[in-house]
Amino acid sequence: MSMIQKCIPDAYHASIFEISYHSLQKQGITTLFFDLDNTIIAYDQSELNVKEIDFLNNLKKDFKIVIMSNSGYKRVSNALKGTDFMFLWHSLKPTKIGFKKALKMVGETQDKVMMIGDQLMTDVYGAHRLPIKVILVGSVKRSSDRGITKINRFIEKKILKKIMIKQPKLYEERLLPYVKDHAL
Ligand SMILES: [Mg+2]
C-alpha cells in the first residue's frame, strides 16, 4: 500500500456519535482505539463532559477501549479524570509504537481493532501502517487545532488533492463528506 493509499480511511462519519458500533461488532471488531483531541473533545475543552463519558462507558459494555493521544500526560489524564478508560499519552502517531503498545494493553490482534480519529496524517495513516482499520471522524472543533496539528492539516490538504486525482471513487465516498463538513 502506498503512503497515499494508507491515508484513505475505511469509512467517514461526522462524529463518534454517528458510527454504527453494532455493525462493527458484527464485523468482528472487539476493540476501539480512540484519538482524544478533536475526536472526543475539542482541544480547548479540558475534560470530557457527562455526555462523552456516558457514551464511552456504554461502548465499554461491548468493546475494549483505549484512548490513544499524542498529547502529554497532563492533558490526557486530566481530560479523563474520574473515568477508568485505558489510555496512552505521547502515543507518537503515526509511528507504530503507540499502536503496538495499545494492542498489548488489550491483548488483541490488529484485525480485531478499529481506530477512530480526526486526522489523516496521524490517525488514518498511522493505523494503516500496522495495518489497523480506521474510521475518520469530523473534528469536534477545527478552529481549536494547534501547533503540529496545523502543520499536519496543511499536508493533509495536499494529500486530499492527490487522493482525489488517484482514487476519485474512494475520495468521493469517504473524503468528500469530510471536506464538505469542514468547508476545506
Ligand atoms: Mg485528533
**Cα 34 to middle of ligand 1, angstroms:** 9
One-letter amino acid for residue 128 of the chain: H
**Cα 69 to middle of ligand 1, angstroms:** 8
Q: How confident is the model at residue 120, as a pLDDT?
A: 95
**Cα 138 to middle of ligand 1, angstroms:** 10
Q: How confident is the model at residue 148, as a pLDDT?
A: 85
d(CA 181, CA 116): 17
Q: What is the enclosing helix (H) or strand (E) of 34?
A: strand 31-34
**Cα 155 to middle of ligand 1, angstroms:** 15
One-letter amino acid for residue 82 of the chain: G
For residue range 53-83, what is the model confidence (pLDDT) as tens digits?
A: 999 999 999 999 999 999 999 999 999 999 9
pLDDT exceeds 90 at position 87: yes
Q: Domain boundaries in the chain?
A: 3-181
Q: How confident is the model at residue 150, as a pLDDT?
A: 87
Q: How confident is the model at residue 183, as a pLDDT?
A: 84
**Cα 36 to middle of ligand 1, angstroms:** 6
pLDDT exceeds 90 at position 137: yes
For residue range 24-40, what is the model confidence (pLDDT) as tens digits?
A: 999 999 999 999 999 99
**Cα 39 to middle of ligand 1, angstroms:** 5
pLDDT exceeds 90 at position 17: yes
SS3 letters across 114-171: EEEECCHHHHHHHHHCCCCEEEEECCCCHHHCCHHHHHHHHHHHHHHHHHHHHCHHHH
Give this prediction's pTM: 0.96
Q: What CATH architecture applies to the domain 3-181?
A: 3-Layer(aba) Sandwich (3.40)
Q: Which of 23-32, 135-144, 148-157, 170-179 has the lowest mean pLDDT?
A: 148-157
Average pLDDT for 140-164:
91
Residues listed for the chain: 184
**Cα 109 to middle of ligand 1, angstroms:** 23
